[in-house]
Amino acid sequence: MAVQPLMQTAFTVERFLDAARIDDGRQRTQMEEWLTQWLAATRGGYAVYHRGNVYCYEQGGAVARSFSMAAQRQQPIWCDGKKLSLLDEQAYLERGALVMLGTAGLLGSGASRAEYGVEVSSNNNNNNNNNNNG
């Protein structure tokens, strides 16, 4: 795998674990490394954090691996290595459905996307400029 896509996956995985509020440490570092490599190599795979556990799902929905981690967030979070989103907890628990709720409130602090070579979108600036000039 090329360095740039792997760096982007690593950045997204780090944000995923930050959003779950999983503390830094050896256990997180080991999981982060495995999860980054797995998501980068797996087509259609994704991870879901829910109540202190990270479940790694293969494309068909089978759990490939899971991790138990001390974390503060309860609401489930989904990540495929490129994107992340909050999930509707009731739909996830009752039917295993992945109902995406978006990223509002997930991406508070941490490293910037530019540090990892991830392209930063300027849509908000363009929209703000269009609104101000319109």
Domain assignment of residue 81, given as a range: 3-133
pLDDT of residue 50 exceeding 80, the answer is yes
Name the pTM for this structure: 0.75
Task: Quote the CA–CA distance of 71 and 68 in Å, as a whole number.
Answer: 9
Q: Can you tell me the mean pLDDT for 59-80?
A: 88
Task: Quote the CA–CA distance of 89 and 99 in Å, as a whole number.
Answer: 8
Task: Quote the CA–CA distance of 42 and 25 in Å, as a whole number.
Answer: 25
Question: If we measure between CA atoms, which residue out of 110, 93, 119 comes closest to residue 22?
Answer: 110
The conformation of residue 86, written as its DSSP 8-state character, comes to E
Q: Average pLDDT over the chain, rounded to whole?
A: 80
Task: Quote the CA–CA distance of 21 and 2 in Å, as a whole number.
Answer: 29
pLDDT of residue 133 exceeding 80, the answer is no
Kindly indicate the confidence band of residue 73, based on its pLDDT and cuts at 50, 70 and 90: confident
Domain count within the chain: 1
Contact 55, 107 (CB under 8 A): no
Contact 52, 69 (CB under 8 A): yes
